[in-house]
Structure 1
Amino acid sequence: MQRAVLKLCCGISYPHVRSMAGLQRAALAAFGQEISVHLQRRPAWSPPRWTRHQQDEKTQPAEQRTTALADEDVFYLRRGQEALHEALEIVESKDGWKPEMAEKNGDVIYSKVLLGNRKVFRLEAELDASPEELHDILFVRVEEMHEWNPNIRRIRVLKHVGGNTMVTHEVSAETAGNLIGQRDFLSVRHWSKSESCVYLGGAATQFESLPPQPGFVRAEDGPTCIVLQPLQDHPDRTHFIWLLNMDVKGWLPQSLVNKALPRAQADFTKHLRLHLTAQKPENRR
């Protein structure tokens, strides 16, 4: 039954897929493969149980607990896929983008105002690393990010869903010059790959055992994404596109937030470049 529904959905969506831009179409093809594999391995989806979870664990038979866990996994998988797809739609849109700032090294940041008056930022840069290397740093070894980015206090993976989705808790650092102040984030992160690109996406989510923490303002990401595309003549270098879409919460003036976010993107890219340089074999001796 699930396969029949999937085929019907694919047939209905075909005219829309033909009109999609390149990044969206490639990412959607990768999503389709993930969903097909998941339908073969998992039971039908139902909303995750955000309440009475611990009590249910004590009283339900083991088979029912396994099914509930599978349902929760599918929730996070779909949340990550949807976030990545929505973020790519924003990145691929042609209208409304305006130059926000340009760095001497060639990095450029554009901004756009979405419905609801939220301003998002798109950074474009070239990095001296392959998409696979950057995927390893930014996703696989995400818990090590605080070691090279002083603006992050810690990132902890709370849950893995297969090899391409995870739930993380991130706490920003208390650093001088941080206009926004310390925040924490609870996010689902998802990655996908086409023949030429690696896509990293994410969005705010819920996790029952980690409600908002005292002393922190819980900000919300997403949908957001990073696109890693090898340069045509230099496959060991990457065209890096980063959509930053964040609601920092709190009582900060929006003008201050709109000034701080693109600066945070530029700082992140600077620290990432320093880390890539330090990782080169000739610099480890």
Structure 2
Amino acid sequence: MLPATLKLFCGISHQHLRTLTGLQWLAVGTLGTEMSRFILSKTDSCLPSMPDSLQKLCLKLGINTNLNHEKIPALSSKDLFYLNQAEDTLQKAILMLQQEGWQATKDEKNGDRTANKKIPQIGNVFRTEAVIDSPPEHIYMQLFENLEHMDQWNPGISKVQILHRIGKNTLLTREVTAQLPITSISQRDFVSVRHCCQAGSALYLIGTAACSQLMPPQQGVVRAEAALSCIVLRPLEGDSRKTHFTWLLSVDLKGSIPQFLTDKALPQSQVDFISHLRRHLSSPEKS
């Protein structure tokens, strides 16, 4: 049971885990907390506290237990709070990825697929899947390392700011949407904690809404909240030069926008984002 459960939290599908109920899910959730806490950790100091059996299983499943990243200095209570937010979001996202019952929203001609599912305590979550002709590492560079340049290739974004860095793999950011005359949704901004981590060959890009005195609400812009964003980048089976791209997204746009407009806008924004990303990655001038 333990190896199968670890596979779940490494993003590896295991059919019988989808039918667990009651105390079984409680046990899985407990282990999930420990696994997500380990995946989020980027210091060698976490390894001595891991049982040998767990380290061996992680190695067998492809999780790198010797990341050799620079150690994070002593963290403030606020930074620890942000890391806990990222940990909780990662755990929730991995559980969602294993769930069935997603309702198809739209299938694009190019093979991209969107679906949605109502998740308790979160609300509507939109799931978009696509294949992109670029390796996961290249996409990761554009969506995390070069995050501040996103406005140069995505017309839906007017600005992305890194407000604060927590180690190498966690950021506090502000993202401002563009004011597009063709939409009925006015300009929004999002303050989020973002984290990247790796499990096997998969890269996870996590995001969730955060509060920060570094960027209070701004006049003339509605402060929206991303309850959950999780992008999973996996090498396409049979062709590692391509990426299987999965994106879970749940957003509260705030203001007085009717729910049906939000439900229409979010999946379309995902499709548009992937289209702009493809165009950027295929450009010889990409940074």
* Structure 2 length-normalised TM: 0.77
CA contact (8 A) 1:21 1:92 kept: no
Aligned pairs, number? 244
The match for 1:72 is 78
Give the letter aligned to residue 104 of structure 1: K
The match for 2:65 is none
Q: How does 1:153-232 map to 2 (within 5 A)?
A: 153-232=158-237
CA displacement 1:94-151 (0-9 Å, x = unmatched): 1x31100111100000111122582111000000111111110001110000000000
Whether 2:90 is the aligned partner of 1:90: answer: no
- Residues 279 and 92 (structure 1 numbering): CA distance in 2 closer, same or farther, change over 3 Å? farther
Identity of matched residues, %: 38
1:26 CA drift (Å): 9.9
Counterparts of 2:143 and 2:219, CA distance in 1: 28
Counterparts of 2:93 and 2:124, CA distance in 1: 13
Q: How does 1:16-95 map to 2 (within 5 A)?
A: 17-18=5-6, 20=8, 22-23=10-11, 29=35, 31-32=37-38, 34-35=40-41, 37=43, 70-94=76-100
SS at match of 1:138: helix
Counterparts of 1:155 and 1:242, CA distance in 2: 19
Whether 2:128 is the aligned partner of 1:109: answer: no
Give the letter aligned to residue 23 of structure 1: G
The match for 1:44 is none
Q: How does 1:249-264 map to 2 (within 5 A)?
A: 249-264=254-269
CA contact (8 A) 1:109 1:262 kept: yes
The match for 2:248 is 243
CA displacement 1:66-113 (0-9 Å, x = unmatched): 96x53332222222122122122222211x311001111000001111
CA displacement 1:226-276 (0-9 Å, x = unmatched): 000001211110000001110111111111111111111111111011001
* Structure 1 length-normalised TM: 0.77
Counterparts of 1:236 and 1:169, CA distance in 2: 31
Whether 2:150 is the aligned partner of 1:145: answer: yes
Give the letter aligned to residue 152 of structure 2: E
CA displacement 1:15-73 (0-9 Å, x = unmatched): 99458365079997474154383766xxxxxxxxxxxxxxxxxxxxxxxxx96x53332
Give the letter aligned to residue 71 of structure 1: S
Counterparts of 1:198 and 1:229, CA distance in 2: 7
Higher helix share: 1
- Residues 231 and 27 (structure 1 numbering): CA distance in 2 closer, same or farther, change over 3 Å? farther
Task: Report the structure number with the largest CA radius of gyration.
Answer: 1
Mean Cα deviation higher: 237-246 or 209-218: 209-218
SS at match of 2:159: strand
Instruction: Give the counterpart of 1:122 among 116, 122, 127.
Output: 127
